[in-house]
Chain A
């Protein structure tokens, strides 16, 4: 009887999440060429991005809970410490319960790159590449590439210039952008697949030889669009992380090749 009740409770919990959470649809993004802040190896910063799909919102606590229920080896306390640090899902009440600090509709944070990657694999998807993420993030609500507009930049900076530590808003609380993608700015930082490929030096002013630069060895020196502080900060944040780190302001969303069905 007791066991039955427990099973029912879990069942309600899971169906409850399903009931209240809107499906996190994959949105089609038509590819194109754009100028990235980070030049490709070889130097040119004009980057071609193919068609792809990306989730319309960051993955939520509710969605991630379903994932760990189905994949117990990714539960807090069980996940291998090579893949997560000791703050992994720390705001959750327990390994399989969210509790008051982690709303089902809030973006999941304190997840490592490994965990985010495993989640996306479970969705038959992957993390977006930096260029894919940057391409989508260039939009505002009316233009695909709004980066020249001072309002775009100031909006982003205004969010960055508020302190962290407050409860995060639910996903989709702000209007969608040009691609019908939500919360690409203004809610959390997001993991990207190749986050460690563009090692911006921890020292923004460091200069190195060309071989040392990888993609962008020297923030201020090789970074294109130096005035684009909003994106520069994003790059700096990602380059501060290692794949097992979990941080209160870092979440993720998944992407998929165009034409690949679930």
Chain B
């Protein structure tokens, strides 16, 4: 049999493609170096004077270890059972390591000997203990640290493996102790430490199961049935809905390299950790030694961790979410990283063009409504109904993404415009908000909101007048008409945020 030449050539090419390729410079960290694990983690007996461990509350992280020998490190951890705010106006009885959820962050060096003092406050109702995933030994310290209220237990361990480890309470019933917030992170640095970065933060996810619904006010007890069904009421970063937003957002400057120590206490859910508007340059997946590069979303198991690093090139607010996205918008899994500095338009331009794009909503007739009223305005004959009709089209193109087509917004994130007491109370204020944007806490129809609306600097006076007139006469809002003159007056009288001049 003779094969046609072309087939032979094709086969040769295909075979060549199967040959191992030389590792190119662009293919990243493909070498897996074995660092030796626990067998290489014992650097002998502790040296020097014992060191008192620095413990920090999230989002803060203790300073890097500046030490080239193994030491004895003393950790004093107090367990407190505390009523704390889980969401605005909602309290929950947290069981805490160190008085906060997540528990205090510990930072030690591989080979260190930790003398762990676990103190259970006399007011505690429950016995507690601690299982540190960084411990080599049965129970991770749990049996040795089992402590009744008003007592202190002491045990020691040598940290043989480097990595970022979860610790948690393992007292019966374990699920309930973890569900009440008994977890935190301990970082065991390899000798030589981690690569230096500009900012480090401690972020830990955990979910909570309450008898009342999400954001139902008052004191909420633990709901065991929901916990068994894994039906979380809250999914939170750092133990409360407001822990990392607004004033409490974590902060960095343009040009910084940021490292997040991310943990997940569970008790049940796995986190799809993502920072909106950033790409992780490196992820030390599962809190281990090796990293993956250029990651959008990393999975953080319950009882596990990850270290993520990224350089921030542009200013703005970057939102930390569990990308199981209903958790972010309906259960509280939101945090903020605010980056200050100069715009870098070559990296991110901001909005350059904002044409109305209505997809299948657009029909020529609708657009003609807009042009009709514009014509009428120019001749001073625009009617209220014309404004409403044109405003509806503009609203659907610009506002409905957030405030929804029915004006009802999204609970907890985007305030309602429908039957809105806040809106109807002051129409001049509404013009200001559309023109200049708005941020910070606000109460609308009795519900609290705390998010950011950017200035709608792309809209002209006509368009704002039409949108607001439409809104003021829709979905239960009655009456009100706003003309371009009203908008022009507010525009002249108020200051636009930087970068929003129009």
Contacts and interface: CB of A to CB of B under 8 A. Distances in A.
Question: Which secondary structure dominates where chain A touches chain B?
Answer: loop
**Residue with the greatest number of chain A CB neighbours at <10 A, chosen from B81, B122, B219, B225:** B122
Interface string B77-120: 00001110000000001000000000000000000000000000
**Residue with the greatest number of chain A CB neighbours at <10 A, chosen from B147, B150, B223, B228:** B150
Contacts of B211: 154, 158
A189 B171 CA distance: 17
A111 to B, nearest CB: 13
B142 interface: yes
B426 interface: no
Contact of A205 (B126, B174, B180): B174
Contacts of B131: 203
A19 B172 CA distance: 42
A157 B125 contact: no
**Residue with the greatest number of chain A CB neighbours at <10 A, chosen from B139, B172, B219:** B172
Interface residues of A, number: 38
B174 A165 contact: no
A205 B170 contact: yes
B125 A229 contact: no
B173 A233 contact: yes
A87 interface: yes
A157 B224 contact: yes
B172 A160 contact: no
B124 to A, nearest CB: 6
Nearest to A200: B172
Interface in A14-41: none
Contacts of A158: 211, 221
A202 B176 contact: no
A204 B171 contact: yes
A241 B131 CA distance: 19
B310 interface: no
Contacts of B174: 204-205, 220
Contact of B142 (A203, A245, A249): A203
Contacts of A161: 93, 180, 221-222
A249 B125 contact: yes
A249 B143 contact: no
B149 A236 contact: no
A153 interface: yes
A247 interface: yes
A249 B122 CA distance: 9
Given A164-B125, A203-B146, A241-B148, A219 B172 contact: yes
A208 to B, nearest CB: 11
A204 B224 contact: no
A205 B168 CA distance: 13
A229 B224 contact: yes
B143 A206 contact: yes
A229 B147 CA distance: 19
A232 interface: yes
A237 B127 contact: yes
Interface string B432-463: 00000000000000000000000000000000
Contacts of A202: 127, 129, 139, 142-146, 170-171
24 contacts: A87-B150, A157-B222, A157-B224, A160-B125, A163-B81, A163-B82, A163-B93, A201-B143, A202-B127, A202-B129, A202-B142, A202-B171, A203-B139, A204-B172, A204-B173, A204-B174, A219-B172, A229-B173, A236-B127, A236-B171, A240-B146, A240-B171, A241-B148, A247-B148
Given A203-B138, A229-B176, A245-B150, 11 more contacts: A157-B221, A157-B222, A157-B224, A162-B219, A164-B124, A202-B127, A202-B143, A202-B170, A220-B172, A246-B150, A248-B123
Interface of B: 81-83, 93, 122-127, 129, 131, 138-139, 142-151, 170-174, 176, 180, 211, 219, 221-225, 228
Interface of A: 87, 150, 153-154, 157-158, 160-165, 189, 200-206, 219-220, 223, 227, 229, 232-233, 235-237, 239-241, 245-249
